[in-house]
Structure 1
């Protein structure tokens, strides 16, 4: 079991502060640099958009799909960072009159999350300028944050840690090596990844600190809260995937068959579940921390809740979407 050590944590908070000072970037000077999106570039890498599972689409249609998913990707992270920032402000108060190193690390974290929200609002506007009309992001960031913040601190930190590890996995495993992505889109998530690397460390430290504070009964309740949060995120993904699939189909210059349309809808949902939930849950770093905290029975409850999200969708009796 990975236990919370105040001495070791102090050193890690200090390293996060040092990294934050060293890599700090500005939206205009360092990231955007006056650039616009080129509509001939895809936004999302194949490893995340999963358009190869839709072989009936041509290259231009796959590019359009990647652009729609890219807008949702930026909006989803903007939404997620709304509740993360609010929760970190709350946790910072616990350090404010005691551990000034941890307090500074969390203040910097929160400031960077606010900057990321601004960046993603601007990215969505840049994408809207070069894409056909019709895209819609369905969720309210404030409403989602209000719901998330009703749950236990342990569960919120677990979800936050998972999500911010996701940003590391996505950039290093899919974006970094994709030479066909929009250079601007790739740069946006390179700079995002640099700061999120420190955030994931702070998430883990605060999660371990909270875990050391609560008893087994509270932890068991928090596992239930985490399952509720994952289900809520999946509900959001189902709604957005349906909206994005409809948006994509409405922008095509040709009609797809009913079977092809159904496969588009299922494929987008599967891609979103992979992007926002499964790729984080399966990350070794997250799994190591989580399994060090929960009992076998609690782990089984989590696995049972996640099992339906792992399954690929079957359409018209074929197994083209079946997970190998």
Structure 2
């Protein structure tokens, strides 16, 4: 694999920006030529691996129903990242201005980052169109990308970069530890997230560099405010995921050839809430690389504040202790 792996902080920031540029040039891919290649989704294949979908928590589903659950979650997964790319690209355009009359290596790295984020948005729009062709009608993605971006961009730069860094790391962990080795997944779905992972590997490094640059400007009181913003962002994501879980549970139930019992419907909904909390929140904040970066910039007291805010989400997400990266 050619994507940049986690670089040691001992390497200078300019060297790290330069390495991201080098790899970006080498691995650059085209949506049609390299990723889609004229293919369509085969309804006979899963999209999401069981460890991420947590479908094993729903033993009353048969094989076809489990596959449908995987496909619905995979469709939401692609839409979720397409939505996230909207505010990430906008924020990177903003922080890139700081380098416009200074470090041109950093500027080029961020310009490439932003260009790739725009390409990823197009990719995920194409994925949604392909999913709509292969899955039954009735699916709804609830969050509105521009509304979400406007809310996120109203928060402090520190909090946005922290969230973005976490999300970019999550995409790498999910692909490398869960998707890459699962031969039962749709080959097209795997390729989409393989190519996405390749470029996100550089993005995570740039996120970290810009986050650390922003952190150096803050005093402890200002950082406290930024941590409050980060908590607000995480809670907003949780709210969106709860709404999407409800929509996906309803869509799933209406697509089955049988009626679920009230208890089964409730368990499907709860399973989706927990799976989405794991996918988009807990698997990120628990990732050691993100934790190491975060620990460099916050105090023990601030860490306890974050931990307390996450506790209700964490408790629900890990309630059944699934083998999340199987």
TM-score by length of 1: 0.95
C-alpha deviation, 1:5, in angstroms: 7.9
Partners of 2:115 and 2:260 in 1: CA distance: 46
Quick check: 1:201 aligned with 2:205?
A: yes
Secondary structure of the structure 1 residue equivalent to 2:316: coil
Residue 5 of structure 2: aligned partner: none
8 A Cα contact 2:152 2:160, kept in partner: yes
C-alpha deviation, 1:257, in angstroms: 1.1
> Which digits, 9 at most, give the CA deviation of each residue in 1:275-315, with x for residues without a partner?
0000010100000010111011110010011111112379x
Quick check: 1:323 aligned with 2:321?
A: yes
Residue 29 of structure 2: aligned partner: 25
Quick check: 1:138 aligned with 2:142?
A: yes
Residue 312 of structure 2: aligned partner: 308
Summarize the Cα distance change of 1:104–1:69 in structure 2 as closer, same or farther, 3 Å threshold.
Answer: same
Summarize the Cα distance change of 1:38–1:215 in structure 2 as closer, same or farther, 3 Å threshold.
Answer: same
4+ residue stretches of structure 1 with deviation over 6 A? 4-7
Quick check: 1:218 aligned with 2:216?
A: no
Partners of 1:85 and 1:54 in 2: CA distance: 37
- Write out aligned runs for 1:158-197 (5 A): 158-197=162-201
- Write out aligned runs for 1:7-156 (5 A): 8-156=12-160
Partners of 2:161 and 2:195 in 1: CA distance: 23
Instruction: Work out which of the residue numbers 268, 272, 297 in structure 2 matches 1:268.
Output: 272
Instruction: Work out which of the residue numbers 231, 237, 242 in structure 2 matches 1:238.
Output: 242
8 A Cα contact 2:278 2:317, kept in partner: no
Gaps of 5+ in 1: 315-320
TM-score by length of 2: 0.95
C-alpha deviation, 1:7, in angstroms: 7.3
Gaps of 5+ in 2: 1-7
8 A Cα contact 1:312 1:323, kept in partner: no
8 A Cα contact 2:136 2:255, kept in partner: yes
Secondary structure of the structure 2 residue equivalent to 1:311: helix
Residue 317 of structure 1: aligned partner: none
What is the RMSD computed on CA atoms of the aligned residues?
Answer: 1.5
Secondary structure of the structure 1 residue equivalent to 2:216: helix
8 A Cα contact 1:42 1:66, kept in partner: yes
Partners of 1:194 and 1:322 in 2: CA distance: 32
Partners of 2:181 and 2:11 in 1: CA distance: 37
Secondary structure of the structure 1 residue equivalent to 2:41: coil
